[in-house]
Amino acid sequence: MTTIHIDNRPYPAKDGENLLQECLSLGFNLPYFCWHPALGAVGACRQCAIKQFKNEEDKHGKIVMACMTAAKDGIRISIDDPEAREFRASVAEWLMVNHPHDCPVCDEGGECHLQDMTVMNGHIYRRYHGRKRTFHNQNLGPLVNHEMNRCIQCYRCTRFYREYAGGRDLDALVLRNQVYFGRHEDGVLENEFSGNLVEICPTGVFTDKTLKRHYTRKWDLQTAPSVCVHCGLGCNTIPGERYGTLRRIRNRFNGAVNGYFLCDRGRYGYEFVNSGRRVRQPLLRKNRTQLLQPASKRGALQHLGEMLSAGARVIGIGSPRASIEANFALRTLVGRDQFYLGISERDLRLLASVLDILKKGPARTPSLHEVELADAVLVLGEDVANTAPRLGLALRQSVRRQPEEIAKKMGIPLWNDHAVREAMQEEHGPLFIATLANTRIDDIATRTFRGPPAELARLGLTIAHALDPIAPQVPGLSNTAQALAGAIAEKLKAAERPLVISGIGCGDKAVVEAAANVTWALCNMGRPAELCYVVPECNSLGATMLGGGSLETALEAMNDAADILVILENDLYRRADAALVDRLLAAARHIVMIDHIKHATSAKADVVLPAAAFAEADGTLVNNEGRAQRFFQVFVPRGEIEGDIRGDTPRDIPGDIQESWRWMRDIMVVGRGDEGQWSSLDDVTAACAAAIPSLEPILRAAPSAAFRMDGQKIPRESHRYSGRTAMHANVSIHEPEQPQDLDTALAFSMEGYAGHPPPSLIPRFWAPGWNSIQALNKFQDEVGGPLSGGDPGEPLIEPTPGKKAAYFENIPAGFEPRVGEWLLLPLHHIFGSEELSILAPGIAELSVQPYLALNPEDASNLGLTAGDEVQLRLRPEADAQVDVKDAQVDVKADDSANVTTTAEIFRLPLRFEPELLHGTAGLPAGLTGMGNLGGVALPAWGELKKVEKGKQMEG
């Protein structure tokens, strides 16, 4: 630490750190635009001007930009100096010269950094009365809106989009004094982090187009801390609601996890909560010949009570997309031995293997922030840009670590962004990517390697052997692969923070084990290696930690004379092949589905109960690093407000939607007379922690419902929340009582504690004078560092450092192409492969369509050219765990897209994928509209044939 003097008073500061950052960390309100804690400084806007003095005697000083000055010991500066103030005010004035007077109709209004800075600078009157420069606004696709006239040329957008996120299609286009930030022509922004422009841009140029479609003023949003449910990384979010509709998602800073940024799937997938596919009231049929009919909550529970009280044997199937508490409640309802995880045997084996490796191995799993610090990385088998997008963004930062040494040697501080990038040029640190096909982060890779899972595993095992000769040796590897493995081993060995990333995305246990071998070989050499596995869903790891069998074992149990199948938040047809699921469902006398969306499995249920979606419930999720994080209910899904327009006391009639765990509790009450087992989420969490010791830390993921600050709860509504009476004035002129929250320390109200709550309970970032997302600075002790009080999340998995782990010995045989057959590989897509986000219109518009991918040479050998269609016949094969013999045609008209299915034959448009290995083909993983293919475990072997135009498929 060092001492700096601001307006003649001494303050502690970090030596050499960015002076603007230090001033903000000390709590000064110093205006800025172009600087950003994640992007560093370029000195473009001139807004952060201060006076710097040579010494105590210097009364004149000189204007400098705080963001371009280092905090050196003894430095004397003034923020309050009249000339500095005047300079900053004049910057605001010139930036406003061309800025439109459209705050009242601007989507950014109310949380605009430009508004805040203009007020902070005291710029009140507009002296300029001339014509303003105007621009064409572009259509940038369904997610981001463009209003270029509001631009202040700070360059933050292009710096984030191009330099931080690797996008290429947005740029600063310059002609004379006109600088245009946009694409070369209208069109969808290509980068999967484009939504961050909405928060990065300090004005209303880039705004959230999905919010625009159901716009509400930002201060009228009810918000709560939440966690993204669209992949396994657990990025922290702030969803906002008004009038019972979820309106948007914003980033919730967590210094260890997502930092300042979300991917577009996580930001825009929220609209599934408003989707027409929601289950909003109980549905019931007394026998399977009837259609499901709407029923009252009481009627549905009564029916369930009758079913259960007859002594029926119940089996429960949980879900990796449901919370720990919901899964545990089901486990309690059905009993531990009757609880199954709702995951196929193959996937459960993979997840169990990941969990076992993380628990028993010597390597740590890094947080996303720690991934950014890795200086040599091997990605083995996982297309992270599509399966865990925010991890891909972290890797874009990690490749800067080694080249940054060049800048350090030249004495350039790392916050001096432009100078650092000039020094580094196009240098990238070592990043090796071994995957099934090309990925969107290949542009920063040192080397890439393509192959089917067996070849990826063999490469990984060879790297491990090159690091430690005791690790098993792979016979018969090509010279090229041998040489590559040696080169990768050298770079990992030489690194200070080597990192191995893998996952279950390519569906192969040997790949998971090979990644462990590489990491363990590094650990055995005394290197501080880290190991990161990608898991597919928001609670994949948490569900696995709960314990329970696979879908296949559930089928055995059903056949063993169970009566009732209770399924939690799970479309089983996405998990396993249709034949298995059909058999499982057919074996049950009664099927009870508790979910928030309708799908192929709920269509076969006898009772469907409306579960709360993430924004309507509280719970705990465990991300891929084993971090337990609490998400909080944003709003109560209301039924209706009942009352007389002149009456005194309107009544809020709750809707039928409730948390899954509450449905289980109610079923236990009606079925077993199990009164009062749980009255709040805390009761369920405590029972779960007591029953499963490894989950005990979930108790500390957030304060309990009894937590108060100054005796008050934390309000979900801002102090400017408006219209609370008017919004129900058509029913009564009196304001209904706000819903009570028994489960958390948050209140569905604008009344409550006005200060800073603990980090896991922060419902929004706001501070006096700071209405934009930049108010976050006030919630950090050190701007850019962790949240004051520590970043949220409790670790559930602690590795054993120094432990010697035994290597996995299984060496898969090398891949042999087959004559007339192709190995079908799963290709993941950020838009389309995930079940819930695809229900959001914006994501659906960008979703990939069904296809079959081949490399051009294989396609040509089959006589296929661009625009052709391919007939795929999947071959049932034991070793590929595919069994489609009894597959049923089950493609609905509305989701069939370009696919036609008959039994196990599929007709798909051809797509070229040049990097697929000869003898392999690709299919989009998890895509709705792939019919029975959606649940088939890939890789699997299949036959391909050209479909002659205008002809039917051959059977």
Stretch that binds ligand FES, among 1-9, 33-41, 262-270, 664-672 (CB under 6 A): 33-41
**Smallest gap from residue 172 Cβ to ligand SF4 (A):** 7
Q: Of these partners, ligand FES, ligand SF4, none, which one is at the site of residue 424 (CB under 5 to 8 Å by kind)?
A: none
129-132 contacts: CB < 8 A, separation 24 or more? 132/97, 132/98, 132/99, 132/100
Taking residue 704's Cβ as centre, other Cβ atoms within 10 Å add up to 15
Site membership for ligand SF4, residue 265 (CB under 6 A)? yes
**Smallest gap from residue 377 Cβ to ligand SF4 (A):** 17
Task: Calculate the CA 897 to chain-centre distance.
Answer: 26
Nearer to ligand SF4, 157 or 615 (CB): 157
Task: Calculate the CA 909 to chain-centre distance.
Answer: 30
Number of amino acids touching ligand SF4 (CB under 6 A): 26
Q: Of these partners, ligand FES, ligand SF4, none, which one is at the site of residue 897 (CB under 5 to 8 Å by kind)?
A: none
Q: Of these partners, ligand SF4, ligand FES, none, which one is at the site of residue 328 (CB under 5 to 8 Å by kind)?
A: none
In whole angstroms, give the CA distance from residue 635 to residue 727.
Answer: 15
Q: Of these partners, ligand FES, ligand SF4, none, which one is at the site of residue 35 (CB under 5 to 8 Å by kind)?
A: ligand FES
Nearer to ligand SF4, 156 or 713 (CB): 156
**Smallest gap from residue 353 Cβ to ligand SF4 (A):** 22
Task: Calculate the CA 219 to chain-centre distance.
Answer: 25
Single-letter amino acid code for the residue at 825: L
- Chain positions 40 to 79 lying near ligand FES, rule: CB under 6 A, are 43-48, 65, 67
Nearer to ligand FES, 33 or 661 (CB): 33
Nearer to ligand FES, 43 or 486 (CB): 43
**Smallest gap from residue 786 Cβ to ligand SF4 (A):** 18
x/- mask, ligand SF4, residues 138-177, rule CB under 6 A, reads -------------xxxxxxx--------------------
Single-letter amino acid code for the residue at 351: L
* Residue 311 CB-half CA count within 13 A: 0
Q: Of these partners, ligand FES, ligand SF4, none, which one is at the site of residue 46 (CB under 5 to 8 Å by kind)?
A: ligand FES
**Smallest gap from residue 41 Cβ to ligand FES (A):** 6
In whole angstroms, give the CA distance from residue 355 to residue 348.
Answer: 10
**Smallest gap from residue 151 Cβ to ligand FES (A):** 15
In whole angstroms, give the CA distance from residue 50 to residue 62.
Answer: 8
Give me the phi and psi of 504, to 5 degrees please. -105, 10
Nearer to ligand FES, 21 or 196 (CB): 21
Q: What share of the chain is helix, strand, coil (3-state, %, to 5)?
A: 30, 20, 50
* Residue 184 CB-half CA count within 13 A: 2
Stretch that binds ligand SF4, among 256-264, 332-340, 559-567, 728-736 (CB under 6 A): 256-264
**Smallest gap from residue 374 Cβ to ligand SF4 (A):** 17
**Smallest gap from residue 395 Cβ to ligand FES (A):** 28
Site membership for ligand SF4, residue 262 (CB under 6 A)? yes
Give me the helix-helix angle, 551-559 and 345-360, nearest 10°: 120
Nearest to 946 by CA among 843, 890, 866: 866
Q: Of these partners, ligand FES, ligand SF4, none, which one is at the site of residue 262 (CB under 5 to 8 Å by kind)?
A: ligand SF4
Nearer to ligand SF4, 834 or 904 (CB): 834
In whole angstroms, give the CA distance from residue 201 to residue 183.
Answer: 16
Looking at 21, 32, 272, 375, which residue binds ligand FES (CB under 6 A)?
32
Number of amino acids touching ligand FES (CB under 6 A): 13
Task: Calculate the CA 165 to chain-centre distance.
Answer: 16
**Smallest gap from residue 357 Cβ to ligand FES (A):** 45
- Matching residue, tokens 């596919």: 277
**Smallest gap from residue 766 Cβ to ligand SF4 (A):** 21
- Matching residue, tokens 């405590």: 686
**Smallest gap from residue 182 Cβ to ligand SF4 (A):** 8
Site membership for ligand FES, residue 152 (CB under 6 A)? no
Q: Of these partners, ligand FES, ligand SF4, none, which one is at the site of residue 520 (CB under 5 to 8 Å by kind)?
A: none
End-to-end CA distance of the chain: 76
Q: Of these partners, ligand FES, ligand SF4, none, which one is at the site of residue 181 (CB under 5 to 8 Å by kind)?
A: ligand SF4
Nearer to ligand FES, 20 or 506 (CB): 20
x/- mask, ligand SF4, residues 879-918, rule CB under 6 A, reads ----------------------------------------
Site membership for ligand SF4, residue 201 (CB under 6 A)? yes
Site membership for ligand SF4, residue 389 (CB under 6 A)? yes
Encode 425-478 in three state secondary structure: CCCCCCEEEEECCCCCCHHHCCEEEECCHHHHHHHHHHHHHHHCCCCCCCCCCC
Strand-pair partners of 144: 208
Nearest to 44 by CA among 170, 158, 194, 134: 158
Q: Of these partners, ligand FES, ligand SF4, none, which one is at the site of residue 205 (CB under 5 to 8 Å by kind)?
A: ligand SF4
Stretch that binds ligand FES, among 39-47, 274-282, 766-774, 805-813 (CB under 6 A): 39-47
Q: Of these partners, ligand SF4, ligand FES, none, which one is at the site of residue 390 (CB under 5 to 8 Å by kind)?
A: ligand SF4
- Chain positions 202 to 241 lying near ligand SF4, rule: CB under 6 A, are 202-203, 205, 228, 230-231, 233-235
Taking residue 212's Cβ as centre, other Cβ atoms within 10 Å add up to 11
Q: Are β-strands 206-208 and 144-146 bridged in parallel, bridged antiparallel, or unpaired?
A: antiparallel
In whole angstroms, give the CA distance from residue 685 to residue 704.
Answer: 10
Site membership for ligand SF4, residue 32 (CB under 6 A)? no
Site membership for ligand FES, residue 160 (CB under 6 A)? no
**Smallest gap from residue 20 Cβ to ligand FES (A):** 6
What's 409's DSSP letter? H
Give me the phi and psi of 92, to 5 degrees please. -60, -40
Task: Calculate the CA 118 to chain-centre distance.
Answer: 34
**Smallest gap from residue 457 Cβ to ligand SF4 (A):** 25
Stretch that binds ligand FES, among 28-36, 191-199, 592-600, 601-609 (CB under 6 A): 28-36
**Smallest gap from residue 291 Cβ to ligand SF4 (A):** 35
Go through the chain and tell me how many residues it has.
955
What's 907's DSSP letter? E
What's 806's DSSP letter? P
* Structural contact between residues 837 and 395, judged by C-beta atoms closer than 8 angstroms: no
What's 881's DSSP letter? T
Nearer to ligand SF4, 156 or 183 (CB): 156
**Smallest gap from residue 203 Cβ to ligand SF4 (A):** 5
Q: Residue 369 belongs to what H/E stretch? A: helix 368-373
* Structural contact between residues 274 and 812, judged by C-beta atoms closer than 8 angstroms: no
**Smallest gap from residue 71 Cβ to ligand FES (A):** 14
878 contacts: CB under 8 Å, gap ≥ 6: none
Give buried/exposed letters for 142-161 (b at 16+ CB in 10 A, else e): bbbbbbbbbbbbbbbbbbbb
Single-letter amino acid code for the residue at 323: S
Nearest to 868 by CA among 860, 876, 877: 860
Looking at 33, 415, 765, 851, which residue binds ligand FES (CB under 6 A)?
33
**Smallest gap from residue 48 Cβ to ligand FES (A):** 3
Interface residues with ligand SF4 (CB under 6 A) are: 151-157, 181, 201-203, 205, 228, 230-231, 233-235, 258, 262-263, 265-266, 388-390
Interface residues with ligand FES (CB under 6 A) are: 20, 32-35, 43-48, 65, 67
